[in-house]
Amino acid sequence: MATELRIITKNHDGRVLTNNNIWTPDSRSLMYDTRSDRLGDIFDGTRIMQVDVKTGEEKCVYFSKHGAGCGVVTTHPFDDRYVFITGPENPTSDWMYGPTHRQGMIGQRSVPYTSHPMDARELDERPVAGALRGGTHVHMWHPKGDWLRSTYNDAFVSPNVRDIAVHIPGTVNVPSTHARNHSGTYHSFIVTDTVVTPTSQHHITRAYEETWLGSTRQIAFMADTVINGDALTEIFLVDTAPLTLASSHSFDQDHRIKPPVGIGQRRLTHLAETDLRIVKKPRHWLVTSPDGSTIALLLQNKSNPPQLFTLDVATLKLTQRTYVASGITTAISWSKDGGLIAFGSQTAVNVLDTLTWKVREVAEVRAGALLPLVCCISPNSSHVAVQVRDGETNHIGIAAVR
């Protein structure tokens, strides 16, 4: 019988965990933000927090200023940096928080309450090299700890179209020709090629829920397509290895930012030819094995609830790996050593052994509801972090794996 999930938080403040990369490298602490609602849909958090998983001690490492909200924090793979998003300071009626009005910020746990802009913004049809003109979201460091990736929404053209951006360390100086311009410490590039009106099954209208493919410079992502007149989500891959600080964006006839020359994407799945579809609820992000050979995702058909499948990147073979009667109800994560995939199912926190492909329940939620957005295994594979809603409060729960 599984042990009861250990709840480590005590007070009734808001708290939201990001879907992955939330553990400190030593596996001793978790980082989260203080958005007040159940799933973090209301961007009203003002603090970035750290909680010790053994003692439950919570401490603030960053506090936003001048009316800006902050949230969606993730950690560096081996040092004390963290990255998060912030909305505009001194927001106005024409410039408030939203997909096109947010940016990445980098802080250090050892230097609390300080941060600096990651991505640069220039509100111009042709921003300077390395700058963007919209908003970035859900930043994740590459396993090597140098580059970052994020999603992006443009403030000028087609703001509802979502792309993926890659950020490479290097200062970008932006002229102060607009009050909302700002310089950054990383060069940013759009790497997905989206269209507003698709005319081919290889056109995508939205790119999102992405992952680094192991330690390669490739990114696998979900992409919305239109195939034979039907909207469908498939998995695509883009290789960003050709990017350098000298790279520059291209632009189409509608002034949309396009990937630099040499960056191309390809389709990995053909789900339109099957009865399987990528799961929308729970919302989840693709995860990969450490060597980048395999992608894990959630699929379902009309007869079965969400199950975990793996996609072999070389052969493009899809294989069902779980047969959980009640289905998978949370996002997923793959351990750093490659041996385990963590997921939640109703009230159970589970791990899937990637050698035997057997599921083991490691904890049971006996009070409150297991929330869907996170089930994240620690860097040393010893614990899984989840989020539980108890009454009107989100709490953080920890399950011991071994």
The ranges assigned to domains in the chain are 3-400
SS (H, E, C) the chain: CCEECEECCCCCCCCECCCCCCECCCCCEEEEECCCCCCCCCCCCCEEEEEECCCCCEEEEEECCCCCCEEEEEECCCCCEEEEEECCCCCECCECCCCCCCEEEEEECCEEEEEEECEEECCCCCCCCCEECEEEEEEEECCCCCCEEEEEEECCCCCCCEEEEEEEEEEECCCCCCCCCECEEEEEEECCCECCCCCCCCCECEEEEEEECCCCCEEEEEEEEEECCEEEEEEEEEECCCCCCCCCCEECCCCCEECCCCCCEEECCCHHHCCCEECCCCCCCCEECCCCCEEEEEEEECCEEEEEEEEECCCCCEEECCCCCCCCCCCCEECCCCCEEEEEECCEEEEEECCCCCEEEEEECCCCEEEEEEEEECCCCCEEEEEEEECCEEEEEEEECC
Q: Tell me, what's the pLDDT at 154?
A: 97
Please say if the pLDDT value at position 9 is more than 70. Answer: yes
Residue 399 contacts residue 384 (beta carbons within 8 Å): yes
Chain centroid offset of residue 14 CA: 20
Residue scoring higher pLDDT (298 or 199): 298
Q: Tell me, what's the pLDDT at 1?
A: 61
Burial class (CB in 10 A: 0-12, 13-18, 19+), 67: middle
Please say if the pLDDT value at position 295 is more than 90. Answer: yes
Query: In this structure, which CATH number among 2.130.10.10, 3.30.230.70, 3.40.50.970, 3.40.50.2020 belongs to the domain 3-400?
Result: 2.130.10.10
Residue 56 contacts residue 9 (beta carbons within 8 Å): yes
Q: Tell me, what's the pLDDT at 202?
A: 83
Please say if the pLDDT value at position 229 is more than 90. Answer: no
Q: 52 forms bridges with which residues in the sheet?
A: 29
Please say if the pLDDT value at position 200 is more than 90. Answer: no
Please say if the pLDDT value at position 402 is more than 80. Answer: no
Model confidence pLDDT, tens digit, residues 53-71? 999 999 999 999 999 999 9
Please say if the pLDDT value at position 5 is more than 90. Answer: yes
Average pLDDT of span 282-308: 97
Q: How many CB atoms lie within 10 A of CB 355?
A: 8
How far is CA 162 from each of CA 26, 122, 220, rounded to the nearest angstrom? Answer: 34, 18, 15
Measured between alpha carbons, how far is 151 from 174 in angstroms, rounded to an integer?
A: 21
Q: Tell me, what's the pLDDT at 199?
A: 82
Model confidence pLDDT, tens digit, residues 15-42? 999 999 999 999 999 999 999 999 999 9
Please say if the pLDDT value at position 227 is more than 90. Answer: no
Burial class (CB in 10 A: 0-12, 13-18, 19+), 361: middle
What is the radius of gyration, based on Cα positions, of the chain?
20
Residue 127 contacts residue 112 (beta carbons within 8 Å): no
Please say if the pLDDT value at position 324 is more than 70. Answer: yes
List CB contacts of 295: < 8 A, sequence separation 6 or more.
Answer: 211, 213, 220, 235, 268, 286, 287, 288, 310, 311, 313
Q: Tell me, what's the pLDDT at 230?
A: 82
Q: How many CB atoms lie within 10 A of CB 168?
A: 18
Measured between alpha carbons, how far is 112 from 295 in angstroms, rounded to an integer?
A: 36
Measured between alpha carbons, how far is 375 from 20 in angstroms, rounded to an integer?
A: 8
For residue 344, give the nearest of 354, 358, 332 by alpha carbon.
332
Average pLDDT of span 353-366: 97
List CB contacts of 205: < 8 A, sequence separation 6 or more.
Answer: 161, 194, 195, 196, 198, 224, 225, 226
* Percent of the chain surpassing pLDDT 90: 93
Report the mean per-residue pLDDT for the chain. Answer: 96
